[in-house]
Structure 1
Amino acid sequence: MTDKPTSLIPHTKQDWLKKLIPAWVSDYSPSRLPADIIAGIVVGILVIPQSLGYAVLAGLPPVYGLYASIVPVLVYAWVGSSSVQALGAVAITAIMTASSLHGLAVEGSLQYIMLASLLALMMGGILWLAGKLKLGWIMQFISRGVSAGFVSGAAVLIFISQIKYLTNIAISGNTLPGYAISMFSQLNSLHLPTLLIGATAFVLFLLNRYASAYVWESWLPQAQAKWAGRLFPLLLVVVAIVLSYLGQWASRGIRTIGEIPSGLPSFSVPEFESFSQVATLLPTAGLMALIVFISSSSVASTYARLRGEKFDANTELRGLGLANIAGGFSQSFPVAGGFSRTAINVDSGAKTPLASVVSVVVMVIALLSLSQMIAPLPYALLGAMIMASIISLIDFGTFKSAWKTDRLDALSFSATFFGVLLFGLNVGLVIGIIVSFAGLIWQSSQPHIAVVGRLLGTEHFRNVNRHDVITYENLLIMRVDESLFFGNSESVHSQIQQALNQHPKASELVLIMSSVNHIDLTAQEMLITLNRELVANNKRLHYSFIKGPVMDVIEQTAVITELSGRVFLSTVQAINLLTDDNLHNDQHPTVQQQEFH
């Protein structure tokens, strides 16, 4: 019996199948298979130690880093928006998980693990709901200064939090003062062999990351040097495991991860003790959802643009949401798209999400066969690996650039950065967002209004303070460079009055409105008052270049019906009619009978 031709399948069923099966599966080309397999194997192998480290950073047993790289990755590969983004445990979600669960349960305990999965479930639900509501546009409201300041502050906290693994000092906290107090009160617990191992590994990781041109390229071809640099962390992990096993480091007081449970993650519903815990985690889940979306969509959209592919922010929201929801039921903690692992995925030749599926296979093999082999790995090495990799996230370059070009964004960066360090991740992010919006409101409340004149021989008008222009004694022309609303109407009125005082002979005021996209009720009242003040001083108010949508709003209001002057289609027309040589005697308000655009 043969299958029915596709044309005989009802269209509703065809549409349902198209929605169920992603395009990369139905259109998969066998020619892409070798590249996807190689990329998946490379990523899977290289991120095993990284995944273990991020689980430790989150306060979880190391094996949960591998759990987080299985079910969520499969779900995102099926429904995510990016063809090459590699999902998994990342530094930001790990430190935010540890910060949010601090004080709610003992690190590594069953209750702590359940709460971490609950956090993933809650964050995933928020992301999925945001995708269904098509809230992908929301990412544009987080300025570059805020996002860079948050990531930089979080990177510093992550760096400091790993000191406990390099020194054996049991420091704790979620702010810089908290870590400092905890550390200095326990300096006597410093373990020198652990420090020696951790410091040595840290220096080696730093040299590999930042001096690879001297370390590898001096004696290897460029292509081989590139892969040597990538494989070095894995090689160092293997060497550390061998040395730890032969030297019996665990018996010498050097903390090792021990034997990790063999087997795949189980499916279960995250449990919690009370709804107060859910209420406590909800704000963090919301902030994490925002950060995860911004960071992941930044990675996905960048590679989509480079590869000439389409990126849909709402699809990304739903993909991240479903991946974390699935992770919440499969012993995962919050995951996101990783900068480094995505770069490795792309550089290794990944063509489609099948590469991520292959990396999951590698993780499964690791869970089933490497549990005893990884046991001697010292925590100091994982801490050093995270510390060396996290330095690149401290983005002072953005602050320097903003300080030169946009002081408000530099202020947002500083407020977020120091807010994170002093008050924690959640409060720091909120502080940064508030400062960013406050700066935006302040900037809007101080609009630029220029007195302009006509460039000789042209119909162009420019700022009298910047150009050599023609001005008219009886005519004052001003260009309004912002929309008018309650926040800036008083400032606009004040600047206009100041300009009128500086030009006492001007009896005609023309406001160029080409940059005005909206005039709210408060601004309308300001313009009406301005017009009446001018009339009381035997002067007239005129407008030019009012946009059609703006005119639709104000045409039947006193802004126009009581206008002492005219509304001109162009400023040149205003000059032709209002200068001393051509001034009309008609003092009645009129509007040019022309279409407004």
Structure 2
Amino acid sequence: MAFTKRPAFNIIPTWLAPLLAEPKRALSELSTGLMMAVLVIPQSLGYALLAGLPPVMGLYSAIVPTMVYAYVGSSSVNAVGPVAITAIMTSGALSSYALGSLQYQAMAVTLALMVGVLLMLAHVIRLGWIMQFVSRGVASGFISGASVLIILGQLKHLIGTPLSGDGLIDMMGKMAGQERLFHAPTAMLGLGALGLLFMNRYRPTLMHGVLYRLLPKSAHAHIARFFIVVLVGVSIIIARQYDFANLGIATLAPLPTHLPPPALPMVSLDIIITLLPSALLIALIAFISSASVAGNLARIRHEPFAPNHELKGLGLANIASSLFGGFAVSGGISRTSMNVALGANTPLSSMVCAIGVLIIALFLGQFITGLPYAVLSAVIITSAIAMIDVASFRVAHAQDKSEALTLAMTFVACVGFGLNIGLIIGLLVSFALIIYRSHRVHMAVVGQVEGSEHFRNIHRHDVQTFDNMILIRIDESLYFGNVATVRTALDDICREYPTARHIVIIMTAVNHVDLSAQEMLADFNRTLIMDDKQLHFTEIKGPVMDALMHTPVITALSGQVFLSTGMAVNTLKNT
């Protein structure tokens, strides 16, 4: 279903009307939301523990913030809530406080408020354009690397291995001193569940052969989705029947049965100064992470995506999380991939998920008590695998080697050193390639296509050239990073055509000429004068001409500035 955001003033979201008109689709969204509610509760509890907070704060972060983003966010299926990266960064930001203390909890709530306010400020001043500098390679590499880290992080629950750390190198270092590599009962349960889920996803005909024959085709799409719920339910029953806890298999403990009333966290100037650097970093990483996931899904699903609107949705979600006793939230790769895998198409599934978490936490928590974490990890792993973007790497490798390099280096850095360092390395590589490409300016000697006013590269087309004139087209703006390259190329061209008295530079593609480039052009003009030659410009854009009008580039120009290349040729070819 195509997703179109409502206007800001419309109270009722536009995606709701089609669902009301098509009950089957609405029922599908409801079932997806309920399944998500069952699956994200243990996940939310685990992320709270990862942040060094009481598990119940994970639930607080998974209810109201999820509903707020579903209503005002930019993506139709992005699932916002407690995620690994914000949990890890919250723990790092509060490392100077006593872990688990009331002050630690209060600072986590305040930090979420600051993150939300910073994101809202970024929305107000329209900083969503920053995503334009996160290339497809960086986004795909980051998502794929985060997916692999999620899979590695879930191994501790899937097979009982004591694996933890920010990246693979850190994990391997911590594993070096461990005596137990896995817990046999946990591994048997987890790998068994993982195998069934793989068959459910990748071999559905084999897995559901009998059901496919018994049920109508219209029901086939729902069989795989409900299999996950059946697997979770059966695992809870078996875990209780055979007392998995005594076998050393970790299971879900009883859930709390209350939620706090909304309240403002404590804020003071000292706290703001202390937490501001961490809040800025969390806000940036949360936005890039969430926008990368949401933007990638929007591209795949052919839906609109507005980064500036994403800032608003995330900002309000974090403020809501703070008001209701939660910690910083973001769009999660594992949560979103599960949401999509279960069949979500509109924000209704996220809203139902949040309401479902609330109801289950308050009234039905005892029914999922005993859920083995190994089964939950298997569900998360199968969802995360689907987010590894191999297709983008193949396309980039075939069509754009530099983008493939960016994707690969971002991915390797994320997996090896953690998401923070990986993202920074990816951005640095991307910026370095931009600088490298702008440094290697494409310049062409052009000639006139016979019988026309068109001028083309002499090495690509059959064109007319002129002995007394060189026509040089510069296909890049001029700035300090490429002036040396351009000047060397100009000198080489002049030496290649020694009989030419008129050097005409075509400025069609030049959008900016900085001070260093102005000095280079002025010096080039002086060199030509000493060689009894003239420098001319043609097709200078208005804003560029405004900037050059009163500089030596124009005031001391040995030749003329022509409106078009054709006028320059007609004027100079016989002189």
User: What TM-score, normalized by structure 1, do the two folds share?
Assistant: 0.83
Residues 135-156 of structure 1, C-alpha deviation per residue, up to 9 Å, x if partnerless? 1222111111112222222222
Seen in structure 2, the aligned counterparts of structure 1 residues 64 and 196 have a Cα distance that, compared at 3 Å, is farther
| Counterpart amino acid of residue 47 in structure 1 | M
Question: Residues of 1 paired with 2:305 and 2:134: CA distance?
Answer: 19
Question: Residues of 2 paired with 1:111 and 1:382: CA distance?
Answer: 31
Matched, 1:256 2:258: no
| Counterpart amino acid of residue 487 in structure 1 | G
Q: Give the counterpart of 1:488 among 478, 482, 493.
A: 482
Question: Residues of 1 paired with 2:22 and 2:137: CA distance?
Answer: 41
2:149–2:415 CA contact under 8 A, matched in 1 = yes
Secondary structure of the residue aligned to 1:529 is: helix
Question: Residues of 2 paired with 1:217 and 1:558: CA distance?
Answer: 80
Deviation at 1:409, TM superposition (A): 2.1
Structure 1: state its 5+ residue gaps.
1-17, 584-597
Aligned to 2:568: 574
2:478–2:514 CA contact under 8 A, matched in 1 = yes
Structure 2: state its 5+ residue gaps.
1-6
Seen in structure 2, the aligned counterparts of structure 1 residues 70 and 179 have a Cα distance that, compared at 3 Å, is same
Aligned CA RMSD, in angstroms, stands at 3.3
Question: Residues of 2 paired with 1:106 and 1:466: CA distance?
Answer: 70
Q: Which moved more, 1:60-69 or 1:492-501?
A: 60-69
Matched, 1:287 2:284: yes
Aligned to 2:362: 368
Q: Which moved more, 1:134-143 or 1:38-47?
A: 38-47
| Counterpart amino acid of residue 404 in structure 2 | A
Q: Which moved more, 1:194-203 or 1:469-478?
A: 469-478
Question: Residues of 1 paired with 2:535 and 2:209: CA distance?
Answer: 72
Secondary structure of the residue aligned to 1:58 is: helix
Deviation at 1:194, TM superposition (A): 0.7
Aligned to 1:377: 371
Aligned to 1:48: 37
Question: Residues of 1 paired with 2:100 and 2:148: CA distance?
Answer: 23
Aligned to 2:27: 38
Secondary structure of the residue aligned to 1:504 is: coil
Q: How does 1:501-516 map to 2 (within 5 A)?
A: 501-516=495-510
Q: Give the counterpart of 2:188 among 196, 202, 208.
A: 196
Deviation at 1:186, TM superposition (A): 1.7
1:169–1:186 CA contact under 8 A, matched in 2 = no
Deviation at 1:534, TM superposition (A): 0.8
Q: Give the counterpart of 2:11 among 5, 14, 22.
A: 22
Aligned to 1:147: 139
Question: Residues of 2 paired with 1:250 and 1:296: CA distance?
Answer: 36
1:419–1:431 CA contact under 8 A, matched in 2 = yes
Question: Residues of 1 paired with 2:220 and 2:56: CA distance?
Answer: 31
1:49–1:382 CA contact under 8 A, matched in 2 = no
Deviation at 1:563, TM superposition (A): 1.3
1:169–1:187 CA contact under 8 A, matched in 2 = no
Residues 342-377 of structure 1, C-alpha deviation per residue, up to 9 Å, x if partnerless? 6479x5675xx5664444332222112221111111
Secondary structure of the residue aligned to 1:490 is: helix
Q: Give the counterpart of 1:239 among 234, 240, 261.
A: 234
Residues 274-298 of structure 1, C-alpha deviation per residue, up to 9 Å, x if partnerless? 9597256335413323324523652
1:55–1:94 CA contact under 8 A, matched in 2 = no
Q: How does 1:220-231 map to 2 (within 5 A)?
A: 220=212, 222-231=217-226
User: What TM-score, normalized by structure 2, do the two folds share?
Assistant: 0.86
Aligned to 1:68: 61
Question: Residues of 2 paired with 1:263 and 1:36: CA distance?
Answer: 33
Q: How does 1:96-111 map to 2 (within 5 A)?
A: 96-98=86-88, 100-101=90-91, 104=95
| Counterpart amino acid of residue 423 in structure 1 | F
Deviation at 1:394, TM superposition (A): 2.2
Moved segments of 4+, more than 6 Å: 18-21, 25-30, 105-112, 271-274
Q: How does 1:518-557 map to 2 (within 5 A)?
A: 518-557=512-551
Question: Residues of 1 paired with 2:267 and 2:150: CA distance?
Answer: 27
Aligned to 2:4: none
Identity level (%): 39
Matched, 1:319 2:317: no
2:45–2:59 CA contact under 8 A, matched in 1 = no
1:124–1:321 CA contact under 8 A, matched in 2 = yes
